[in-house]
Chain A
Amino acid sequence: MNYINELKGLLKTNIRDYGMYIALIVIMITFQFLTNGLFMSSRNISNLLDSAGYIAVLAVGVMLVIVIRHIDLSIGFLAGFLGAIAAILLMQYGLPVYIVIPIILVLGICAGGITGFLVAKVGIPAFVATLAGWLIYRGAILLATEKTGTIIVDNDAFNAIGNGYIPSIAEVGGLHLLSLIIGALGIIFYIYSAISNRKNKIKYEFEVVSKPIFVLQLLFVSAIMAYITWLLAGYNGFSWTVIIILLVVFVYHFITTKTVVGRHIYAVGSNPEAAHLTGINVSKITFLVFGSMGMLSALSGILFTARLQSATTTAGTLFELDAIAAAFVGGVSAAGGVGKVTGAVIGAIVMATLTNGMNLMGVGIAPQYMIRGGVLALAVIFDVMTRKQKA
């Protein structure tokens, strides 16, 4: 009985953090019923995650931009434009993949740096500066694809980023071995870090959940990780896209939660005036966040181009709004200072799940937009309500 009360209390105080996970699970189960079991099939989940990839990496970047109280509208067409450049470098100049990808990422950082310069040094509002970028990169895509139209990318190594899967090494009962190993390692890593974190907290006499609840938590999360691994291993295993998302999440999660730079980013977002008076260089942080945004836009462009195996004239259209929506669904606060990397990625997966599920059900495009809009509004309403409750 005590544990149930504790669980209830835990849910209540952490509802903001848990809210979107619960929402995601509810949405998935609903689709599972509505599509008669089609939704949670190995093939569909694998497809869903791949289709969320290029928005998820953008969402992580734009989440940080929103945390420091700015916005970036240029990221969609920047991704599209850099994807086109990648295609041109691969096909027309015949450069190898391992040279093209670093070039594109560096170009992305430069583009982000320009935005950062305009916002941090010149003092142009980010909305206007990046709206200008939106127009410029849109023109740039058209210019880049003017002569050729859609550029077909005929490079297997590059296309694998968007369509390929990690090698399986060996199959175990029809399941991919390497994927299983990665999944198992992930679960072990999760359990290890959760336990050491808890030990630390106990050592410094911080409040921790009781042991049975903690074990329950471990089992629940491990089970979900195992289930997803099993699902993916049953199809083609982990795709390269999923591996890239996991990598981005891992790196950004680490930077935002463990490093000095991360602390400074949240300080600037939470109170720029106080950050300045604490000796934090606010413009440097602004630069950095926009630079990272540019790099992630480049990565998004690579993922999308590889997935389509071509660079189109309209690539990147509305990516920025999907990414911003994902960040807000993932719990970033418009007032700045609050937002999580994991939240942004989950937000992107929620949005992709809605699209995917409704597509399976044959829902028309018009209601799809409306439902996604409704979910976005609900997520933010939920966010505002729970914050009021706390205050």
Chain B
Amino acid sequence: MSDYILEMNQISKEFTGVKALSNVNFKVERGEIHFLVGENGAGKSTLMKVLSGVYPYGAYSGDIVFNGEVQQFNKISDSVDVGIAIIYQELALFPDLSVYENIFAGNEIQNKGKIDWNKAIVDAKVMLNKVGLKVNPETLIKDLGVGKQQLIEIAKALSKEVKLLILDEPTAALNEDDSENLLQLLLELKKQGITSIMISHKLKEVIAIADKATVIRDGETICTLNSSKGEITEANIIRNMVGREIEDIYPKRPKKQLGENVLELTNWTAYDPKLGRNVAANVNMHVKQGEIVGIAGLMGSGRTELALSIFGNAKNYKIQGDLMLEGQLTKFKHTSDAIKAGIAYVTEDRKGDGLFLLQDIKSNISIGNLKELSATGVVDENKEIVIAQGYRESLGIKTPTLLQLVGNLSGGNQQKVSLGKWLFVGPKLLILDEPTRGIDVGAKFEIYSVMNELINKGMSIIMISSELGEVLGMSDRVYVMAEGEIKGELSSEEANQEKIMQLATQ
């Protein structure tokens, strides 16, 4: 009889019509390190949010049994009270407060309503010792590196007498040494009787320290692998992660002769001063005229950052290396330079930084190329309507009127407006970042068809995507990224799900 600290039985969760989790069973034994693995969007984070009370009792169906008792968490603090602590990838620390203030934030040591700062400092030292961190507790968080900040988060959890520690991709932002330290710490904590659940995309970590690993795919638990039975191997995990049948929803396009290089990057490195690390490192890649190049990789692998560094260095990275556009060495100072040179970037987050939600469809389509509509600085609204009407028809934007606010459209139609906006600019190279995220199958097919049409007209496309099926179904060639680097290049003939996953989880 196993001693389970946590049993999640038949957990289901729906988001307005979309099943994020269906009948998930997830059991964790006391004192083990248990990994949750799966593709982006498989449902790992949703499951952890159910467990930690982000989604309150009643918002999901199924039972959570923790320490032998059925739990009904209505808010996050309920799960904290029974000893569950979750540490997210985006750290929840206060950068301008000191280490000890952060450790006891929300859990202050009080004496008759007054905070006992002296005791807090003394206790903080004890917690820091436990996580093996030698820093002065009065140091400010912003003066510490990400790796140390991660440890502070763990120290904070320990101060609340945590029994079950959940880490959501803790090593995604860490370098090799810090990652190694963290893994050692988890083994150390295991000896002290603390159970951990860890979400990670790096399979070598799973192989190194996992006692068990549960694979989730499309909101369902596929299997739980046991290290003592020798089941945790790279091949085994990847097979279970990707085992989905690829449906034939990708419109065919005839093979054709590719043209010259449109884009060529050599030793391209982008350093983000805000993060203090390279978001893209030593990238060598090229895109030929008439080609769809897929960039696969998991979230946080630097794909979007690479795209933004190409697109006029939109985020002001420090750039090294060369960018050749149609054989010409080119440097961009502003996004407008890149646009003029014929590059367009359709953003991954269309609501956040792609569209103007409070404006109507025609203004959203015309905004990137108003010059074309105005000889003298005055916008020719008749011409604007004709143009917008053209894209409405060719892209199949479903709307009663062009005056509809874009914020009121469905995701698929918003994406088509986004696409229309950039097609009106008339680029040679179109960068699509997650072009079909959150869109229904019908709209996906329409967008793929548009992509094929553009290729036929001689455009080139870089498609960043987390959906393996899409990458395999649409690309002529695939680059796989991880940790800001290109880990491999696959032709459409060699590429398959296993190979991509293997490169992406290095």
Q: Which of B339, B382, B385 contacts A279 (CB 8 A)?
A: B339
Is B389's CB under 8 angstroms from A204's CB?
yes
Is A267's CB under 8 angstroms from B356's CB?
yes
**CB of A47 within 8 A of chain B?**
no
Interface string of B330-371 (1 = CB under 8 A from A): 000011101110000101000011111111000100111011
Is B402's CB under 8 angstroms from A260's CB?
no
Is A338's CB under 8 angstroms from B374's CB?
no
Is B359's CB under 8 angstroms from A270's CB?
yes
Q: Which of A207, A260, A270, A271 contacts B379 (CB 8 A)?
A: A260
Is B378's CB under 8 angstroms from A258's CB?
yes
**For A273, what are the chain B residues with a Cβ–Cβ distance below 8 Å?**
352-353
Is A259's CB under 8 angstroms from B377's CB?
yes
**CB of A266 within 8 A of chain B?**
yes
- How many Å from the CB of B177 to the closest CB on chain A? 34
**For A8, what are the chain B residues with a Cβ–Cβ distance below 8 Å?**
none
Is B401's CB under 8 angstroms from A271's CB?
no
Is B379's CB under 8 angstroms from A337's CB?
no
Is B382's CB under 8 angstroms from A200's CB?
yes
Is A271's CB under 8 angstroms from B403's CB?
no
Q: Which of B354, B377, B386, B402 contacts A274 (CB 8 A)?
A: B354
- How many Å from the CB of B321 to the closest CB on chain A? 22
How far does the alpha carbon of A264 sit from the alpha carbon of B369 in the complex, in Å? 11
- How many Å from the CB of A278 to the closest CB on chain B? 5
**For A271, what are the chain B residues with a Cβ–Cβ distance below 8 Å?**
353, 355-357
Given contacts A206-B403, A207-B401, contact A260 B377 (CB under 8 A): yes
**For B378, what are the chain A residues with a Cβ–Cβ distance below 8 Å?**
258-260
What interface size band does chain B fall in?
A: 35 or more
**For A264, what are the chain B residues with a Cβ–Cβ distance below 8 Å?**
367, 370
**CB of A193 within 8 A of chain B?**
no
What interface size band does chain A fall in?
A: 20 to 34
- How many Å from the CB of B431 to the closest CB on chain A? 11
**For B386, what are the chain A residues with a Cβ–Cβ distance below 8 Å?**
204
**For A278, what are the chain B residues with a Cβ–Cβ distance below 8 Å?**
335, 339, 367-368, 421
Is B368's CB under 8 angstroms from A206's CB?
no
Residue of B311, B358, B403 most packed against chain A (CB within 10 A) = B358
Interface string of A346-369 (1 = CB under 8 A from B): 000000000000000000000000
Q: Using CB atoms, name the residue of chain A closest to B336.
A: A279
Q: Which of B335, B359, B370 contacts A277 (CB 8 A)?
A: B335
**CB of B209 within 8 A of chain A?**
no
Is A259's CB under 8 angstroms from B374's CB?
yes
**For B335, what are the chain A residues with a Cβ–Cβ distance below 8 Å?**
276-279
Q: Using CB atoms, name the residue of chain A closest to B407.
A: A391
Is B353's CB under 8 angstroms from A274's CB?
yes
**CB of B314 within 8 A of chain A?**
yes
**CB of A263 within 8 A of chain B?**
yes
Q: Which of B334, B359, B366, B377 contacts A281 (CB 8 A)?
A: B334
Is B385's CB under 8 angstroms from A204's CB?
yes
Is B353's CB under 8 angstroms from A270's CB?
no
**CB of A181 within 8 A of chain B?**
no
Interface string of B434-459 (1 = CB under 8 A from A): 00000000000000000000000000
Is A279's CB under 8 angstroms from B368's CB?
yes
Interface residues of B in 395-426 (CB under 8 A from A): 401-403, 421
Could you tell me which A residues sit within 8 Å of B by CB distance? 200, 204, 206-207, 258-261, 263-264, 266-267, 270-271, 273-281, 337-338
Given contacts A258-B378, A277-B345, A280-B336, 10 further A-B contacts (CB under 8 A): A206-B401, A259-B374, A264-B367, A271-B357, A276-B335, A278-B367, A278-B421, A279-B335, A279-B368, A337-B356
10 residue pairs A–B, Cβ–Cβ below 8 Å: A258-B379, A259-B378, A260-B370, A263-B367, A273-B353, A276-B314, A277-B347, A279-B335, A279-B368, A281-B336
